[in-house]
């Protein structure tokens, strides 16, 4: 019999623990590792194997602690550094994970596991090109590595290559047919390709392999939104949250779905989870003054209302300044530079500050998109009085004179916007931008409607290039007037829009501008609509002057264009009588 604590006894215990761990008796193995460490607190193998066991059971913080102790004893083991990188990635500590993976690779060049963990860290740090290179190095070293194939698909999606991402998932699944995460990633790529039925099938395969995969439930919910099945989407989000109650992404998706279905009170409460999202959290403002969500009186206080997210959001929610001021507050509004001239004189605002400038003293603050929650907004109580923004009279008069010189008196004057902003550096926004935007040539049936003088409101070099190229082969486009080079900010755009009879726009900030000016605006709306346009409505409770033309199926802009061209033909004919 080996003497307790002797090297032979320790070795015997280690062999016993490893056998138990390999056979899935993890609790028993952990007990034996503990016995070893009670005898030899700095036993390297017991420390690193106990760390690996903690990772097996999802206890990543414990895993980091054990692995770190092992590396204090002996830092020369690449696989331990790699396991540490895996654990740190799981905890969201991606900078530290990258450093650990790099230490592993310094000890063992071409180590596939470390390259995979390095790629995961780089992807989370929004360095998808480097992540892809790391995954591909891992696969060069170990072609039968399903995790690397699956992770590679995520990097390909982030780089805008969803078809290649599907193929990468297929490689992972060929190696491991019931690989739930790969099936879920495959569904994500198919969703990017606007193939919701196939995406649904992939998510269902993921869930048949692992019914507790919260991400797959969340992603299936998003695909149900693409299929206009919002009740099913909400049920999926509930399943996901039962498994991962603190998932900011799932709470965010649930918020958008609730808002889409008109459940504004519950939706705006859930919308506060946006500040926990990785993409939005860095823009959260931390002030000494408290956040105001309608829970304290404002009479006699100064409140800062500050813009967040896009220009369209500011244009839509600046209307709440009047309601906040009505509670007795002095309102300071901070807004983007492109909007400050337009917002000067906004009802309820005592002081307007351009973002980036010094702020005056204030007692409390609120982001603009938290105001509907703070003021208990429902569909019935949306502050829909328009116009709440006004064009500068002198600037509007100058445009009126110019328009009278180029447009015949009976002509219907219509502004056109065919694309939203392009934000390729953010994969989530890139997908939305692609779905809401069109190329100018898709507007040809609209531009061909007789009796209409069209004006481009689409700014940017790409827009000018599209219009110029179309003019070479499309005679009606030659009559589209383009003064956008003269529009330096939204005050200039408002002055031009003020002289138009109608704006036809995709879902972007100019549509909000037209609605806020109480100008008739026809909005081309995708099937997976932005929450603010809700469902199955042709009108908007936010903008009385808006009319929505919805896709009947995901990606079907032809039907929308045909409907708008028909409605515009009728409107122009009635104007010409």
Q: What is the pLDDT of residue 1?
A: 47
Q: Write down the pLDDT at residue 421.
A: 75
Write down the pLDDT at residue 424: 56
Kindly list the domain boundaries of the chain, sorted by start residue: 285-381, 393-576
CATH number assigned to the domain covering 285-381 = 3.40.50
| pLDDT of 257 above 70 | yes
pLDDT value, residue 405: 87
The helix/strand/coil state of 352 is: strand
pLDDT tens-digit map of 308-343: 989 999 999 999 999 999 999 999 999 999 999 999
Using alpha carbons, list the distances in angstroms from residue 119 to 101, 132, 138, 151. Answer: 9, 7, 9, 8
For residue 272 the two structure tokens come to 């506060």
Give whole-number Cα distances, 254 to 217, 279, 376, 427, in Å.
12, 17, 19, 20
What pairing do the DSSP bridges indicate for beta strands 412-417 and 302-306? unpaired
- Give the residue with greater pLDDT, 432 vs 251: 251
pLDDT of the residue at 452: 95
User: Worst-scoring range by mean pLDDT, 131-145, 231-245, 400-414, 448-462?
Assistant: 400-414
The DSSP element (H or E) to which 133 belongs, if any, is helix 128-141
User: Which region among 93-97, 426-430, 483-487, 523-527 has the lowest average model confidence (pLDDT)?
Assistant: 426-430
State yes or no: cis peptide before 387, omega within 30 of 0. yes
Q: How confident is the model at residue 577 (pLDDT cuts 50, 70, 90)?
A: low
CB-CB neighbours of 462 under 10 Å = 13
- pTM (2 d.p.): 0.90
Please indicate whether residue 265 or residue 410 has the higher confidence score (pLDDT).
265
Percentages (nearest 5) of helix, strand, coil residues in the chain: 60, 10, 30
Backbone angles phi, psi at 504, to 5 degrees: -110, 120
554: pLDDT strictly greater than 60: yes
Quickly tell me which residue has 């498994």 as its tokens.
Answer: 243
DSSP string, 439-456: -GGGGHHHHT-TTEEEEE
Domain 393-576 indexed as CATH 3.30.465.10: no
Residues 6 or more apart whose CB falls under 8 angstroms from that of 370 comprise 268, 272, 291, 293
Q: In which element (H, E) is residue 45 found?
A: helix 44-56
Mean pLDDT, rounded, of the chain = 93
High-pLDDT (> 90) share of the chain, %: 82
Give the pLDDT band (50/70/90) at residue 541. Answer: very high
Identify the pLDDT of residue 4: 64
At 10-39, the pLDDT tens digits run 777 778 777 877 888 878 877 877 877 777
For 372-399, write each residue's pLDDT tens digit: 999 999 999 999 999 999 999 999 999 9
- H helices of 301-392, in order, are 311-317, 320-325, 337-343, 371-374
Q: Give the three-class secondary structure for 412.
A: strand
CB 318 within 8 A of CB 343: yes
Domain 393-576 in the same topology as domain 285-381: yes
Q: Between 411 and 353, whose confidence is greater?
A: 353
The Cα–Cα gap between 142 and 116 comes to 10
């Amino acid at each position: 019999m080996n003497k307790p604590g002797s090297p032979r006894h320790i070795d015997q215990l280690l062999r016993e623990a490893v056998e138990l761990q390999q056979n899935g008796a993890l609790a028993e193995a952990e007990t034996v590792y503990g016995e070893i460490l009670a005898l030899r607190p700095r036993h390297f193998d017991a420390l690193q194997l106990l760390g690996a066991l903690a990772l097996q059971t999802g206890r990543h913080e414990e895993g980091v602690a054990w692995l770190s102790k092992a590396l204090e004893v002996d830092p020369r083991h690449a696989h331990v550094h790699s396991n540490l990188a895996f654990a740190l990635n799981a905890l969201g500590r991606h900078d530290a994970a990258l450093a650990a993976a790099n230490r592993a690779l310094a000890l063992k060049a071409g180590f596939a596991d470390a390259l995979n963990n390095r790629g995961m860290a780089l992807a989370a740090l929004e360095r998808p090109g480097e992540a892809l290179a790391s995954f591909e190095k891992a696969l060069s070293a170990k072609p039968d590595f399903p995790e690397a194939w699956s992770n590679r698909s995520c990097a390909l999606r982030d780089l805008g290559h969803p078809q290649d991402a599907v193929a990468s998932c297929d490689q992972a699944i060929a190696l491991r047919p019931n690989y739930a995460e790969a099936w879920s990633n495959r569904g994500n790529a198919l969703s990017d390709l606007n193939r919701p039925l196939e995406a649904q099938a992939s998510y269902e395969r993921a869930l048949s392999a692992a019914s507790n995969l919260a991400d797959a439930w969340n992603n299936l919910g998003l695909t149900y939104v693409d299929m206009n099945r919002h009740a099913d989407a909400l049920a999926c989000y509930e399943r996901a949250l039962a498994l991962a109650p603190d998932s900011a992404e799932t709470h965010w998706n649930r918020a958008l779905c609730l808002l889409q279905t008109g459940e504004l009170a519950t939706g705006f409460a859930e919308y506060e989870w946006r500040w926990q999202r990785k993409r939005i959290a860095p823009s959260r403002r931390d002030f000494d003054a408290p956040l105001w969500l309608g829970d304290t009186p404002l009479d006699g206080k100064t409140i800062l209302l500050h813009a967040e997210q896009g220009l369209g959001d500011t244009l839509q929610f600046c209307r709440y300044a009047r309601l906040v001021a009505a509670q007795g507050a002095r309102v300071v509004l901070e807004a983007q530079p492109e909007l400050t001239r337009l917002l000067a004189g906004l009802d309820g605002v005592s002081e307007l500050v351009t973002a980036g400038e010094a702020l005056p003293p204030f007692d409390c603050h609120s982001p603009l998109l938290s105001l509907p929650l703070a003021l208990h907004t429902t569909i019935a109580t949306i502050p829909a009085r328009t116009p709440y923004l006004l064009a500068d009279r002198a600037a509007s008069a100058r445009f009126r004179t110019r328009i009278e010189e180029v447009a015949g008196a009976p002509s219907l004057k219509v502004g056109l916007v065919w694309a939203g902003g392009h934000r390729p550096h953010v994969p989530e926004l890139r997908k939305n931008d692609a779905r809401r935007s069109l190329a100018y040539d898709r507007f040809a049936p609209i531009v061909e409607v007789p009796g209409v003088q069209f004006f481009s409101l689409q700014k940017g070099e790409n827009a000018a290039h599209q219009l110029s190229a179309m003019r070479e082969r499309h005679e009606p486009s030659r009559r589209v007037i383009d003064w956008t080079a003269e529009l330096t900010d939204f005050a200039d755009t408002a002055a031009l829009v003020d002289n138009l009879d109608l704006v036809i726009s995709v879902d972007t900030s100019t549509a909000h501008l037209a609605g806020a000016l109480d100008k008739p605006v026809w909005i081309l709306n995708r099937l997976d609509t932005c929450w603010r346009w809700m469902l199955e409505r042709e009108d908007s409770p936010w903008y009385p002057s808006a009319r929505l033309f919805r896709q009947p199926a995901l990606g079907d802009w032809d039907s929308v264009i045909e409907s708008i061209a028909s409605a515009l033909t009728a409107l122009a004919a009635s104007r010409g009588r």
